[in-house]
Amino acid sequence: MLKTNRSPHLARSLALITGAIFITASASAEPRAMENVVADRVTSSHHDFRVVQIAGGLEHPWAVAWLPDGTMLITERAGRLLHFDGSEFHQISGLPVLHSDNNQLPAPRGGRQGGLLDIVLHPDFAANGWIYFTFSSPGDPDSVVTNDRRGTGTALARARLDAGNHRLVDLEVIYSQEPRSAPGRHYGSRIVFPGDGTVIFSIGDNGLRYTSQDLTHPAGSVIRLLEDGGAAPDNPFIGMAPGNLRPEIFSFGHRNNQGLAIDPQTGAIWATDHGPRGGDLLYRIDRGANFGWPQVSFGTEYSTDARIGIGRTAPGVTPPVRIWEESKGPSGLTFYRGDAFPAWQGSLFAGFLRRESVHRIVLDGDTVIEEEPLLGGLIGRIRDVREGPDGLLYFLTDEGDGGLFRIEPLSR
């Protein structure tokens, strides 16, 4: 059950005063621990495994991260940050104000695409205690972008956890997208640390398309900052004419990247990107690369099924490594390094929302040499894929009553 130290009315009032949105759980989405075997045995080409649900009642969960003591932080798009010790949930206060899709506080439950998004611990968390997270930010409440609708954008913040009091402290919003945009969708967003003193995260095109090829606008880009904020000084578009190019942009031409992962063997950054209607992509992100959206596209318009863009290739556009012609809805992405599934070491696991599956992908350089779909339709829309400290794979499902699942190896 969800544990709080105050009455719901008092907690909500205090949260609004401090700038965080407190959203009470509905009866259908009360976080709860469980140990429910969903499937006794699933066979794959290398390992048989069972599927176990360890938590339910999560409202559109987005990401999970492990603290050094083995407990977890889970973000919900609706605006809750939860601390889960395996048996109980505690809501963490102290979040910044999150975007409401109808520009009202508190945000509607689940909203559409905005809210609390990714969460990742700093690689040196044991020494500095920093927790990084992304969210959709409403910006200046007095600003109007178009059609009397407030502009929104992706923001990156960091804070430390006061676990004893179930709150974030030392909150710093180190990046907030400018300019913001309406109508408010395609926020990205995943976070990775390449180990060079920078932090990298993705921003979707805000549903506007033109932003992805406009280097004066950060939407539709992968952003690279110093870990305490500010553009990394060796980013590719710093010092180029004209002088209003965004210095934080690392790569561009993206639609809505919701998967980022670093290959632990090579250091390469890999991404999955939502196509429109069809044409979801896997590619390796390089410094200064243009991935073409929307001039280069592999999908069609939702309303007319007309092809988008000028074609599937163009000069100066980096081609994808894998194209899924049929919409799959890419989400979480991780490289597996654990010992629980030895034949899977080095494989890339890509989650999919629309196809309710995860694909195990083996890469040889920039070539996919093996791809195996797993869990098709078994647990629902997969939002996040992470390797836990126990070497097992964990999955979050994007549902109003979402869950946290893991797979456990079985002898053959």
pLDDT in tens, 189-235: 999 999 999 999 999 999 899 999 999 999 999 999 999 999 999 99
Higher pLDDT, residue 109 or 405: 405
pLDDT in tens, 272-311: 999 999 999 999 999 999 999 999 999 999 999 999 999 9
User: Torsions phi, psi of 233, nearest 5?
Assistant: -65, -15
pLDDT in tens, 244-262: 899 999 999 999 999 999 9
Average pLDDT over residues 28-36: 88
- ∠ Cα 119 136 351 (to 5°): 50
Distance CA 8, CA 15 (A): 10
pLDDT band at 140 (very low <50, low <70, confident <90, very high): low
What residues contact 243, with CB distance under 8 A and at least 6 apart?
none
Which of 3-7, 117-121, 174-178 bottoms out in mean pLDDT, i.e. has the lowest? 3-7
Distance CA 205, CA 357 (A): 25
| pLDDT over threshold 60, residue 107 | no
Residue 103, judged by CB atoms within 10 A of its CB (0-12, 13-18, 19+), counts as middle
Report the pLDDT value the prediction gives residue 112, as an integer from 0 to 100.
66
Give the closest residue to 91 by CA, choosing from 75, 104, 106: 75
For residue 246, the tally of other CB atoms under 10 A from its CB is 20
Report the pLDDT value the prediction gives residue 240, as an integer from 0 to 100.
87
Which of 131-140, 177-186, 212-221, 372-381 bottoms out in mean pLDDT, i.e. has the lowest? 177-186
pLDDT band at 22 (very low <50, low <70, confident <90, very high): very low
Report the pLDDT value the prediction gives residue 59, as an integer from 0 to 100.
94
Higher pLDDT, residue 63 or 142: 63
Identify each DSSP E strand in 330-381 by its residue range: 330-335, 348-352, 357-364, 367-374
Report the pLDDT value the prediction gives residue 113, as an integer from 0 to 100.
83
Which numeric CATH code is attached to 2-410?
A: 2.120.10.30
Q: Contact, 159 vs 167, CB < 8 A?
A: no
Query: What mean pLDDT value characterizes the chain?
Result: 88
Higher pLDDT, residue 246 or 146: 246
| pLDDT over threshold 90, residue 101 | no
Distance CA 206, CA 208 (A): 5
Distance CA 254, CA 250 (A): 11
Report the pLDDT value the prediction gives residue 111, as an integer from 0 to 100.
42
Higher pLDDT, residue 182 or 380: 380
Stated as kind and residue range, the H or E segment containing 298 is none
| pLDDT over threshold 90, residue 84 | yes
Which of 54-63, 88-97, 137-146, 291-300 bottoms out in mean pLDDT, i.e. has the lowest? 137-146
pLDDT in tens, 306-356: 999 999 999 999 999 999 999 999 999 999 999 999 999 999 999 999 999
Stated as kind and residue range, the H or E segment containing 220 is none
Active-site residue among 47, 186, 217, 254? 186
pTM: 0.90
DSSP 55-83: EEEESSEEEEEE-TTS-EEEEETTS-EEE
Known catalytic residue at 47: no
- ∠ Cα 297 362 186 (to 5°): 35
Q: Which residue has the tokens 């990084």?
A: 132
Q: Contact, 65 vs 388, CB < 8 A?
A: no
